[in-house]
Amino acid sequence: MRWPKLPHLKVLAVLLPLGASLLWVALRTGPMAPTPVTAVQVQNRPLAPQLFGLGTVQARQLHKLGPTVAGRVLTLAVDVGDAVQAGQVLGTMDPVDLDERIRALDAAQARAQASVQEAQARQTFAAAQVGRYAALARAQASSAESLHLKRQELDVAQAALTAARHELQRRRADAAALRSQRRHLQLVAPEDAIVTAREAEPGSTVVAGQAVLELVAPGSVWIHLRLDQSAALGLAAGLPAHIRLRSRGDAVLPGHVLRVEPHADSVTEELLAKVAFTEVPAPLPPLGELAEVTLNLPALPPAPVIPVAAVQRQGTERGVWQRSPDGLRFTPVVLGRSDLAGNVQVLAGLQVGDTVVVHSAKALRSGARVQVVDRLAAGTTAGAAP
């Protein structure tokens, strides 16, 4: 038997460890290396689903005060941010010649009243004459023609009295209308409120119906909330809400869904709802401020739960990469409700205790070798949208 020569043995002694090292490197870090992944086990636990949406601060009771006729602003007694009480006079409009017209109508009303009294006296006298001539006619001391003439005079006096009374009523109505118009020159707070805008200043001319002051009832402030229609399952009046106003950082204000609007936005595909504050925030938030609203839905009974990040698509199927004794495989699943923490119920496809891949360093395939790690290196996550 011939043994290898010594130089050959030396070469083999060098090549064998080198080849083993290269093989180890290829299996651990090269294209044949297992893909690093993070994984979790399917857990059976209850889920507390939530809804999230953006909204704006609005007011249910927004009052715009202004004159009923064109005129000039005379005085304003309040400014933006002032609290006012119901019935408080906030400003006045220039009456121009309204006071003179009221005095003229008062005089005309007095004349009409005198005319009524005069017509009443004439009617009373004419009625007395009819009675007198009727008695004379029965005693044959007066002719029937004279009695007929007196009755005509009574009819004329009665008509004159009726006309005088109608004229008095017209004058009174005209005076009442002018006095009502005079009262409307005062800008009066309809309820306790906050002044949110001053649209005109003293000396400005405004038209009928133009707003001079804008008031908001503090208790009527609410959030006009918008929710994605596809993620609004369970939205209903009475749900508790957590409100974060953009201007107040992380402060959370409690509230509840006051109502769900009967119409939706077909353009943005959103449902609309009104969310009321449990307590009106102080100071009052500006109208139009953005708010982030989280709604808590009733907790669901225990069921298999996985992270939403574990769900991927393979063609038209939605499923997860599952680790099993037979190796890695794609398992289709049927999903249920989810929460804002990134968890979702599994209605079919997985059992409690199954291990699924959450994130992977690169795209996976059936039968691929994987290595479970606590976390992946930054920038190496490969996933698919559920």
**Domain ranges for the chain:** 33-47+300-386, 51-59+221-299, 68-96+185-215, 98-183
pLDDT average, residue stretch 83-98: 87
- The model's pTM is 0.64
Question: Residue 286, preceding bond cis, omega within 30 degrees?
Answer: no
Residue 25 vs residue 43, higher pLDDT: 43
Residue 203: what are its φ and ψ, rounded to 5°?
A: 100, -20
Amino acid 23: pLDDT: 46
Q: 213 pLDDT exceeds 90?
A: yes
Q: Which of 137-151, 293-307, 327-341 has the lowest mean pLDDT?
A: 137-151
Q: What gap in Å lies between CA 27 and CA 34, rounded to an integer?
A: 7
Average pLDDT over residues 31-36: 68
What's the mean pLDDT in 229-242? 87
Give the percent of the chain with pLDDT over 70: 89
DSSP class per residue in 193-258: EEEEEE---TT-EE-TT--SEEEE-GGGEEEEEEEEGGG-TT--TT-EEEEEEGGGTT--EEEEEE
Can you tell me the mean pLDDT for 266-271?
Answer: 89
Task: Give the three-state DSSP class for 373.
Answer: coil
Least confident span in 68-77, 90-99, 204-213: 90-99
Greater confidence, 36 or 67?
Answer: 67
Distance of alpha carbon 87 from alpha carbon 65, whole angstroms: 13
**Residue range 68-96+185-215 in CATH 2.40.50.100:** yes
Residue 386: the pLDDT is: 43
> 384 falls in which pLDDT band (50, 70, 90)?
very low
- Give the pLDDT confidence score for residue 356 in this predicted structure: 86
At 385 the pLDDT is 42
201 band by pLDDT with thresholds 50, 70 and 90: very high
- Could you count the other beta carbons within 10 Å of the beta carbon of residue 95? 17
| CATH H-level superfamily of 51-59+221-299 | Efflux pump adaptor protein, beta barrel domain (2.40.30.170)
First to last CA, the chain: 68
Residue 201 corresponds to which tokens in the numbers above? 């200043």
The per-residue pLDDT for 141 is 74
Structurally, at CATH architecture level, domain 33-47+300-386 sits in Beta Barrel (2.40)
Q: Are 44 and 304 in contact (CB under 8 A)?
A: yes
* Residue pLDDT, tens place only, 273-287: 999 999 988 888 889
Mean pLDDT, the chain, integer? 83
**Which bin fits 161, alpha (ψ -120 to 50), beta or left (φ > 0)?**
alpha
Q: Could you read off the pLDDT of 362-374 as tens digits, one per residue? A: 777 787 777 777 7
Task: Place 17 in a pLDDT band, splitting at 50, 70 and 90.
Answer: low
